Structure 1
Amino acid sequence: MSTAPEPIPLPVTAVTCLEDRAHVERTTVVDLTAGVQRLRLGPVGALAVDRTLHAELTAGPPATVLDARIVRAWTPRARRPAADDSALRHRVDALEQEQVTLEQRRDRLHARLDALGRLAADLLRDIGEGTGHGETEVPRWRGELDRVDAERDAHAEELRTVQARLTVLATELGTAGDALELAEQRPAELVGHIELTVEATAAGPAELRVSHLVPCALWRPAYRAVLDGDSLTLETDAMVWQRTGEDWSGVRLTLSTARSALAGEPPRLSEDRLTLQDRSPAERRTVDVEIREEETADLGPAAVLGLPGVDDGGEVRVLHSPAPVTVPSDGRGHRVPVSSFTTAARGEYACTPELSPLVTQVVRFDNRSGHALLAGPVDLVRGSGFSGRGTLDFTAPGAPVELAYGSRDDHRVVRETEETRDTTTLTQRTVITRTVRLHLSRFSAPHERAQSEAAAQAEGTGERTVVLRERIPVSEVSAVEVRLRKESCSPAPDAVDADGIVRWDLDLPPGGRRTVTLVYELSANSKVTGV
């Protein structure tokens, strides 16, 4: 077998990002020789899952992959920064080199001062001995002592300068080191390579494709809705995070909601015994009812609270990025465009006083993206700019979408309720009459009223329509009846649906006020308890 001295580059060309991991595909062209040979490719991320490694030759001379494995090795980190490293890393390296040079200079100065100190001691001893023997070489002694003292003063001053610079340098190096730790991460020292054993019948170039799974990668949907008059543009993006140890540069990105780690075992069936029991005489004489809250919704997938994963409606969804993308391995979120469409939007100002006293601008449109809209956050943009962030529920292709663009500060609703209870003598029926009064106000500045009156004269209208919704109970048993007293409602409701939602379409001029009265009766016979 022959082993290539240098590893063959194996770049990432396609990535399928799953809910909590990624499927990476690599392609390259290798030169094969006739016979059995071992190829070393890479480097690849050390987090690659070994058991998912798959290699095949897609084009070229007839050849077979006999073995494929990932080999990992620890490589020492380079002491000096490379040419393509950041300026901050080069700055830290320059400070470290200057610190080493100054420390060496400081040690030499200490050694020099020690030598000069010993020389001065020897010179003084020589002067003492010469004086004892009657020698009087005063000019020579004075010259030697002056030269030693001058050198000691010069080296001491240089030592103080070096120590001061080392103190400043230590502060700068600490600050630069902290900034480097925050801005950049130390490169992984564990590096992996792929070793392939290939048997080829003839020599020639061949196209190699290698794929495997890798953790530390995920994606979530994100949207941006731009409202411009009667049209709305919805941009679908994908927020991609990855910390796999290698960058994805110019790759074909596919986004999938498949959960490869989810077990496919059916649930265990447990025994459930049903028993019949005769009702007691007291239970036969009474009908026990209770008032409960029910959330009305259309048919569709169950809601996901907090969006812990990707809500795909129970079916695997696959999205594709229209252009190659680059996602660095920094652990940060990167926004990748997926699709965009513009469609007509139908807006209304809606209010549900029982839930909130605010009037909200609601926009409805159809999903024209060509794919399902997964549940996720949506940035809301209109004429005044960014207006907030909402949530988009799972929406099938072509299905209606509803977005709330925030409340109106110039509207206010006050809700008042009254309840009376009466029992008829003949039928012994309990009748509960409830009256709900809704006071809707629109506040406008004087100049806005003048502009609105001018616009009304020019266009024939200056009013704003507010859709007001209130609910009444819906009975599920014949012993309890609910009746809407339309003759007592003021004004009469515009619509009442099967879920008990009563709707009014109210026109409010600038500075206008409207009062809505809703009256309904809830009657139950004498056998009913709990009302």
Structure 2
Amino acid sequence: MAVTRPSAESAPVPTTEDPYALPVTAVTCMEDRAQIERTGLVQLVAGVGRLRIGPVTPLTVDRSLRAEFPAGDGPPGTGFSEPASDTPRMTGARVLDARVVRMYTPTPPGEPGRDASGLRREVHALEREIEDARQLRQRLDNSLAVIGQAKADLYRDIVQGAGAGDADPERWTDRLERIEQAAEPRIEEADRLRRRVHDLEEELLEARQALTAVESEPQQLTAFVDLVIEAERAGPAELRVTNLVPCALWRPAYRATLAADRRSVLLETDAFVWQDTGEDWSGVRLSLSTARPTLAASPPALTEDVLTLRERSSEERRTVEVDLREEEIRTVGGESAAETVGAAALPGLQDGGAVRVLTAPRPVDIPSDRRPHRVPLSSFSAPCQVENMCVPELSPLVAATARFANSAGHVLLAGPVELVRGGGFVGRGELAFAGLGEEVRLAFGSEDTFRVVRHLEESRETAGLAGINQRTVITRRLRLFVSRLDAPEPGGEVELVIRERVPVSEVSAVEVRVRTESSVPAPDEVDADGMVRYRLRLGPGERREIGLVYDLTASSGVTGL
């Protein structure tokens, strides 16, 4: 915001004695910071005046500070909506300057203030009691040191007198008894104080831990917002102040509940919000954004890429080098695979490459306590199709997978999801990014009544004439043993979907062919990405065997297989 600073030759600027405590009314929480908005009524004076707003958090980012009057209260073109009809309107008022003023006020020693909590007063009382006990113990130690010196002098007198033949046993005995009588109560008192200090230190440690858990130390650094405002006439007006603050972030979280009849899924969208900005957010309008304001907007620096050209050798012309690689086929929200992979590589929120904004349906309270606070955002129930699916190459377990459309009215950001099935918590999974109306897949735990065992065999042979049409044929035979372990009692059959994969060739010198005539049973589906699907219907106690055979045929010039 461009502001005009008053010149030094202008008239003195009137100031206000007490600052205006504008409450935080709206917060837009981003990936690693938040934009807070304060709105309230201020009293303006005619002409140029100064207002102090606060206290505010010392973490306020100075360059993000913006203060203005809503539409109708300031110059045109601010872009804000019209205020409510009962809001005072002040025409001709504008903000000339806005800055953050920070002050250091150390906590005064002595007794805690009048507003101190009972726990803080207890900590202070324990500290004072420990200090008094330590001072008393120090005095007792000094007294015992004097008594010990007297006893040492008496022993020296006894040694010297006995050596000189001037023995006085009665006097020595009397003095030794008096020394012992003086030392005994002090030793007992010192031991009692030592135990007392130990107990007080343990109580103080517990009290400090409790104080740290429920309260934060009083801020020694405070901040205010000083505004220079020019108004045509005096009167009340509504003022809006916005700024960025660090130490605030949010992450999405979900809870999916599969109905007992397995025909619908209830998906609840929540947000976990953390903040340690130094001030509590009470009854604020909360918006959650995936924007990253700290990322640089400039293009990356270009580096030189040197290309060289050379003639291929005769051996290189005759051979084709190939290798196998793993590739994940992903399509998210209709965006390109490059954008999807780039978004997934970034830390934090995965928004599919576009800024998304979610809004809490009602005002929320987020205290500044460094703890996660769960904020409900939305929920919807959608019909689903549940299938028992197994991918033996990855896991022998059969999972109940539900497929349903995203009808939340907004995109579903990638995040953890709690899975509930049959009225109980069955685990925690990961929800991938899903656009509006896009299909969502969630696995609600494993079906322990199924067992799948996988065996893979590979053979290699050479066919054709050398130098003419010689080729290498790699044959892979996959055997799957599927069992349903229910007791052989009358009951309906259950459908099981098994997914396997075969390589996909990208060069003409290598051919991949599924031998459906040798595969028993024949696959139900083989798509262009090499995914092979089988649909089996198993009754209680039934066992099946699946045999999948496919060939990789490579010409004689292919290396790397």
Q: Does 1:210 align with 2:241?
A: yes
Q: CA deviation at 1:106?
A: 9.8
CA distance in 2, matches of 1:72, 1:291: 61
Q: Does 1:479 align with 2:509?
A: yes
| Equivalent pairs, count | 478
Residues 102 and 162 in structure 1, CA contact (< 8 A), matched pair in contact too: no
Indicate the larger mover: 348-357 or 269-278: 269-278
Q: Does 1:4 align with 2:16?
A: yes
Any idea what the Cα deviations from partners look like across 1:104-136, whole Å, max 9, x if unmatched? 9999999xxxxxxxxxxxxxxxxxxxxxxxxxx
Q: CA deviation at 1:303?
A: 6.4
Residues 399 and 443 in structure 2, CA contact (< 8 A), matched pair in contact too: yes
Quote the residue 1:323 is aligned against. Answer: 362
Residues 257 and 420 in structure 2, CA contact (< 8 A), matched pair in contact too: yes
**CA pair 288-198 structure 1, distance change in 2 beyond 3 A:** closer
Quote the residue 1:290 is aligned against. Answer: 323
CA distance in 2, matches of 1:87, 1:393: 47
Alignment-mate amino acid for residue 284 of structure 2: V
**CA pair 72-268 structure 1, distance change in 2 beyond 3 A:** closer
TM-score, normalization by structure 2: 0.77
Alignment of 1:347-496 (within 5 A): 347-425=386-464, 427-444=469-486, 446=487, 449-450=488-489, 453=490, 456=491, 462-496=492-526
Quote the residue 2:156 is aligned against. Answer: none
TM-score, normalization by structure 1: 0.81
Alignment-mate amino acid for residue 538 of structure 2: L
For the residue of structure 1 that corresponds to 2:203, the secondary structure is helix
**CA pair 481-36 structure 1, distance change in 2 beyond 3 A:** closer
Residues 502 and 532 in structure 2, CA contact (< 8 A), matched pair in contact too: yes
Quote the residue 2:58 is aligned against. Answer: 46
Indicate the larger mover: 518-527 or 185-194: 518-527
Any idea what the Cα deviations from partners look like across 1:359-411, whole Å, max 9, x if unmatched? 12211111111111111111111114111111111111111111122323332
- For residue 43 of structure 2, the aligned residue among 16, 20, 31 is 31
Quote the residue 2:550 is aligned against. Answer: 520
Alignment-mate amino acid for residue 554 of structure 2: A
Q: Does 1:16 align with 2:28?
A: yes
For the residue of structure 1 that corresponds to 2:504, the secondary structure is coil
- For residue 311 of structure 1, the aligned residue among 339, 350, 355 is 350
Q: CA deviation at 1:174?
A: 4.3
Alignment of 1:235-314 (within 5 A): 235-298=268-331, 299-300=336-337, 301-302=340-341, 308-314=347-353
**CA pair 271-173 structure 1, distance change in 2 beyond 3 A:** closer
**CA pair 401-307 structure 1, distance change in 2 beyond 3 A:** farther
For the residue of structure 2 that corresponds to 1:46, the secondary structure is coil
Q: CA deviation at 1:214?
A: 0.9
Quote the residue 2:220 is aligned against. Answer: 189
**CA pair 494-32 structure 1, distance change in 2 beyond 3 A:** same
CA distance in 1, matches of 2:67, 2:206: 47
CA distance in 2, matches of 1:80, 1:67: 40
For the residue of structure 2 that corresponds to 1:302, the secondary structure is helix
Residues 344 and 365 in structure 1, CA contact (< 8 A), matched pair in contact too: yes
Quote the residue 1:113 is aligned against. Answer: none
Q: Does 1:226 align with 2:257?
A: yes
CA distance in 1, matches of 2:416, 2:286: 21
**CA pair 357-109 structure 1, distance change in 2 beyond 3 A:** closer
CA distance in 2, matches of 1:173, 1:491: 74
CA distance in 1, matches of 2:105, 2:513: 81
Any idea what the Cα deviations from partners look like across 1:400-456, whole Å, max 9, x if unmatched? 111122323332211112233333355433333221110012223x4xx44xx2xx3
CA distance in 2, matches of 1:209, 1:236: 31
Q: CA deviation at 1:203?
A: 1.4
Quote the residue 1:498 is aligned against. Answer: 528
Listed as ranges, the gaps of 5+ residues in structure 2 are 1-12, 74-88, 142-181
Alignment of 1:339-350 (within 5 A): 339-350=378-389
Alignment of 1:59-208 (within 5 A): 59=73, 60-61=89-90, 62-77=92-107, 79-81=110-112, 85-96=116-127, 163=193, 167=197, 168-208=199-239
Q: CA deviation at 1:207?
A: 0.6
Q: CA deviation at 1:464?
A: 1.6
Residues 382 and 405 in structure 2, CA contact (< 8 A), matched pair in contact too: yes
Residues 343 and 351 in structure 2, CA contact (< 8 A), matched pair in contact too: no
For the residue of structure 2 that corresponds to 1:187, the secondary structure is coil
Q: RMSD value over aligned CA atoms?
A: 3.2
CA distance in 2, matches of 1:236, 1:312: 15
Residues 344 and 350 in structure 2, CA contact (< 8 A), matched pair in contact too: no
CA distance in 1, matches of 2:422, 2:264: 12
Residues 307 and 375 in structure 1, CA contact (< 8 A), matched pair in contact too: no
